[in-house]
Structure 1
């Protein structure tokens, strides 16, 4: 079994996933509602360029996302207000990589806990990116390549 995160956005999915691909690397695939091989009937014309499904492959890891439609809200919720009650957690092998990712993901966002040494990690920090997604960066021990 594998467990993968699936994020919901309100029209910012392409921008957010492109940002994550820039920060994390990997291969990004986007499918818009207008790309649906079964057609985009039922999707208002002004929303057909929203993302139906996005997949960012980083090695063997997968981050998926889509845009909600206004009448659907965020993943079936009443409104798309960002991710609440959870965080994306990145485990890295070097302090340098932790610092790079923390700086990249926090650009335009808000630092919740600065990246610092803790009793369990060489570096740990928490942030909310500019799309409202919470991230935790954890480097248990510095193992530079």
Structure 2
């Protein structure tokens, strides 16, 4: 089975972001591998040893991968994309939106649209942009 999965980059706070997403999204972090845990070969600068090389978060409906930027790669944030989640109810969308907005920046407050009872855009405190939908409306 082919699966498309977003892979996000962070600047030293990947482990914290994945723990937050696991809690908020009712998901599970299945892998959290540091640069120090990589097989021997390429040396890792000491300042990167405890940074996350690879994280894997799973939910029954989706998966998410992430890591802290590798040595020598400047962190530039997440640009030109957002993660979109759709929930069956507007109430669930409101709960998730509120959790992601805590300490983040709301670009578009949650409100009714022609495609959903609730839609809003927020960049969370880790710099990840989200589009949250709830209570989808029929589109014809």
**TM-score, length-normalised on structure 2?**
0.90
Return 5+ residue gaps in structure 1 as ranges.
Answer: 74-78
**TM-score, length-normalised on structure 1?**
0.87
Point out the structure with the larger strand share: 2
SS of match in other structure, 1:91: strand
Once the two structures are TM-superposed, the CA of residue 102 in structure 1 deviates from its matched residue by 0.1
List aligned pairs for 1:51-62, cutoff 5 A. Answer: 51-62=52-63
Task: Give the Cα separation in 1 of the matches to 2:16 and 2:81.
Answer: 21
Q: Which consecutive segments of 4 or more residues in structure 1 shift more than 2 A?
A: none
Q: Aligned residue pairs: how many?
A: 135
Deviations 1:73-120 (CA, angstroms, capped at 9, x unpaired)? 2xxxxx212100000000111111101100001110000011111111
Task: Give the Cα separation in 1 of the matches to 2:67 and 2:96.
Answer: 23
Alpha carbons 2:120, 2:132 under 8 Å: kept: yes
Which of residues 66, 77, 82 is equivalent to 1:82? 77
RMSD over aligned Cα atoms = 1.5
1:7 corresponds in structure 2 to: 8
